[in-house]
Amino acid sequence: MPLNRKNKLLDLAAAKRRGPETRDWQVTQILPSIIDGLLIGFVYGVAAMGLTLIWGVMRVINLGHGATMALGMFCTYFLFSDLAVNPYLGILAVVVLSLLFGFIIYGVALQRVIQAGYLSTLLATFAVNMIIIGVGTALFTTSPRNIDFSAGSITLGPVILQGTRLLAALAAVVITGALYLFLYCTRPGKAIRAVSNNRAAAELMGIPSSYVLALAFGLGTMLAAVAGGLTSTFFPFTILSGATYQLKSFVICVLGGLGNPLGALLGGLFLGGLEGVIPTFMPVSWVPVVEFVLFVLVLVVKPTGLLGAK
Amino acid sequence: MNAWRQPGFWVSFLLIFLAGVAVLVLRQDTLRETAFTVLMFIALASSLNILMGYTGYVNFGHIVFFGLGGYFGFYLVSEMGWPVYLAALGGGVLSAVIAYIIGCAVLRLRGAYFALATIGVNEAARAFVSNFEPFGGSTGLYVNFAAYDRYGGAAHALWFTFILLWLVTLAVVVTSYLVKRSRFGLGLSAIREDEDTAMVMGVKAPQDKTKAFLISAFFPGLIGTLYFFKNGNVEPDDAFRFQMSLEILVMVMLGGKGLLLGPIAGAFAYERLRGYLIISPMFKDLHLALSGLILLLIVLFVPGGVVGWLRERLPHYRRWLE
């Protein structure tokens, strides 16, 4: 004990001596960390948009979301490592493949139970999740992979911005813009919004709701896979990594209001920023606890989300 | 009491009772280990059924109570020197208290929102325990071997733990039956069918759901303590295995949710199937995918599970298949 106390006193003395210097170090530490977090937040936002779109249109919580993200990561990885495709061009391939994949999942697992209530749809998407992860584990094992791709970096004063994160954030903004154009300016997009607003009325107007639901699920899956592809350029990943991001997506959706795509993007930025700030005053391993407490608080206090639609 | 004359209850009860007696008569160590795992999953699945089957609320975090209760009970046995049955009770009570706290907050949410929240609970609990020093942080705790001496050495302690687990499993079955037969259980079924209508008819939905959650969380705490005491150590990744939550869920769905025999049959069938798959070289990596496939097929084609399907097919034997 006495030794411990003596050490503590020595530490205190050292801290006093370092004084102002430490504070400087903290400011220069916090700023890059927040900016970094915000850039990642854009990508979180894209993932959450996929989840929120599916919920808004189909009233289905897609528990296969994380697994789909992991598939996006692996798709980008194999395009890069085996065919040497630039990861950001590889995203285009991911878009097409995941859209098809989403249609297939909808046709196989969801179409039959879409009317049967949330218990069935939750369990069905969950089963899809288990199948993807099970097969993925068998094929790819769970040893971490990494896309070794660097896009340089930009230095702004004390802040160093990594190229991959800037590009990912840019891609996220472009995707959000494209999604909005699609939803508001094209006929299929308008059909999706109509079904989301009132499915029965949309059907009476001659909108084939079954196709629209398939399209919405495909788009949601695509957004998840693209977000996965983008994250794979800056973090190492395994087939199981999706689960963490899925949880973050839930938190973000709830923050931004389930069913609200723009809210999802803002929620993503908020969560990313938060992840940047927390490690400066708490051990990183506490991040999930904070996120979850936030999640439950929002769910309980204001289930429509902080940006509360309706 | 009329409820005791239902043959369906006695089928379930005697199945487990006789299985336990058989293991105790044969006294083989390997048989005991297999029976321990099967009984454990039967008890876990039946306790999940009290919430999920009767109320229709999916809980993806059932294993949290197994982990937290197990951790606490293990701590009591190993660090505090409590006898294992009291410690198990302590673990169960802690689980129930935590369920009550979580339930008060989260069970005001309906359906899908509740399911979302339970996914988060598991991750949060694992992160919390990994950072919580009295529970050994991320390396967990190892049993203090003196704890085994009380029961005349490790070998006797293992048999003793088995008997305790067997009794707990029987208690789960009885509780689950009593809940189902009671007015409270009827209220739960009403909530499952239509929560708004149930509330209009005077069912106090939030309180009843919290009560069901509490009962369903009490048993995993007990079982967790016994399991980790048997294993001799406890660590976060072992205690909060999300996959185990899922497997329990698949078991309930496989056997038939909302039935007494359902989770028992489901747990037994799934556990045997998994035992076979893990050994076979072809499927050993694919068993998660296969359980996913089973779940998908059940959800799509046989929502009542095996026992539910049998009940539909054999109306004459329905009273035997409760």
pLDDT in tens, A61-70: 888 999 999 9
pLDDT of residue B120: 75
R_g of chain A, CA atoms, integer Å: 22
Higher pLDDT, A28 or A200: A200
- pLDDT of B1 over the 60 cut: no
pLDDT digits (tens, 9 = 90+) for B287-302: 788 888 888 998 888 8
Give the minimum alpha-carbon distance from B274 to chain A in angstroms, rounded to a whole number: 14
Q: Which CATH architecture has domain B2-320?
A: Orthogonal Bundle (1.10)
Q: How confident is the model at residue B266 (pLDDT cuts 50, 70, 90)?
A: very high
pLDDT digits (tens, 9 = 90+) for A107-157: 998 888 888 777 788 889 989 998 998 898 888 888 888 887 777 777 777
pLDDT digits (tens, 9 = 90+) for B155-173: 888 898 999 999 999 999 9
Q: How large a percentage of chain A has pLDDT more than 90?
A: 23
Q: How large a percentage of chain A has pLDDT more than 70?
A: 88
Over residues B49-75, mean pLDDT: 90
Q: Are A75 and A97 in contact (CB under 8 A)?
A: yes
Give the DSSP letter of residue A282.
S
Nearest residue of chain B to residue A293 (CA atoms): B124
Give the minimum alpha-carbon distance from B148 to chain A in angstroms, rounded to a whole number: 32
Asked whether the beta carbons of residue A129 and residue B292 sit closer than 8 angstroms, the reply is yes
Q: How confident is the model at residue B2 (pLDDT cuts 50, 70, 90)?
A: low
pLDDT of residue A103: 94
Residue B271: which of B38, B52, B72, B69 has the closest Cα? Answer: B38
Task: Write the CATH number of the domain with boundaries A32-301.
Answer: 1.10.3470
pLDDT of residue A98: 94
Over residues B78-85, mean pLDDT: 85
Higher pLDDT, B89 or B316: B89
Size of interface A-B (CB pairs under 8 A): 117
Report d(CA B56, CA B50) in Å as an integer. 9
* Among A123, A286, A287, beta carbon nearest to B295: A123
pTM (2 decimals)? 0.82
Nearest residue of chain A to residue B281 (CA atoms): A138
H/E stretch holding A230 reads helix A209-231
Report d(CA B290, CA B250) in Å as an integer. 11
Q: Are A204 and A72 in contact (CB under 8 A)?
A: no
- pLDDT of B6 over the 70 cut: yes
Q: Are B75 and B61 in contact (CB under 8 A)?
A: no
**Both ends of chain B: CA-CA distance in Å?**
17
Instruction: List residues bridging with B142 in a β-sheet.
Output: B233
pLDDT of residue B184: 92
Residue of A292, A293, A294, A297 to mutate, testing the B interface (most B Cβ within 10 Å of its Cβ): A292
Amino acid, res. B20? G
H-only helix segments in chain B: 7-26, 29-55, 62-78, 84-106, 111-130, 146-149, 153-181, 183-193, 195-200, 205-231, 236-239, 242-255, 261-279, 287-301, 305-313
Over residues A35-58, mean pLDDT: 89
Q: Are A76 and A90 in contact (CB under 8 A)?
A: yes
pLDDT of residue A296: 76
pLDDT of residue A310: 41
Measured CA to CA in angstroms, residue A289 lies from A39, B102, B128, B180 at distances of 22, 14, 7, 36
pLDDT of residue B224: 93
Over residues B310-322, mean pLDDT: 83
Report d(CA A215, CA A265) in Å as an integer. 21
The domain ranges of chain A are 32-301
Over residues B223-243, mean pLDDT: 87
Q: Are B112 and B243 in contact (CB under 8 A)?
A: no
The domain ranges of chain B are 2-320
pLDDT of residue A15: 45
* Among A113, A133, A299, beta carbon nearest to B299: A113
Q: How confident is the model at residue B175 (pLDDT cuts 50, 70, 90)?
A: very high
Asked whether the beta carbons of residue A127 and residue B296 sit closer than 8 angstroms, the reply is yes
Average pLDDT of the residues of chain B? 86
Query: What number of other Cβ atoms are within 10 A of residue A158's Cβ?
Result: 11
Residue A219: which of A45, A53, A48 has the closest Cα? Answer: A53
pLDDT of residue B187: 93
Q: How confident is the model at residue A2 (pLDDT cuts 50, 70, 90)?
A: very low
Strand pairing category for B141-142 and B233-234: antiparallel
Asked whether the beta carbons of residue B287 and residue A129 sit closer than 8 angstroms, the reply is no
pLDDT digits (tens, 9 = 90+) for A207-247: 888 899 999 999 999 999 999 998 888 888 888 888 888 88
pLDDT digits (tens, 9 = 90+) for B98-138: 999 888 877 777 777 787 778 778 777 887 888 888 887 77
Asked whether the beta carbons of residue B289 and residue A134 sit closer than 8 angstroms, the reply is yes
pLDDT of residue A28: 66
- pLDDT of B303 over the 90 cut: no
- pLDDT of A305 over the 80 cut: no
Higher pLDDT, B87 or A288: B87
Q: Are A183 and A17 in contact (CB under 8 A)?
A: no
Count of helices and strands (H, E) across chain A: 12, 2
Whether chain A has a CB inside 8 Å of the CB on B237: the answer is: no
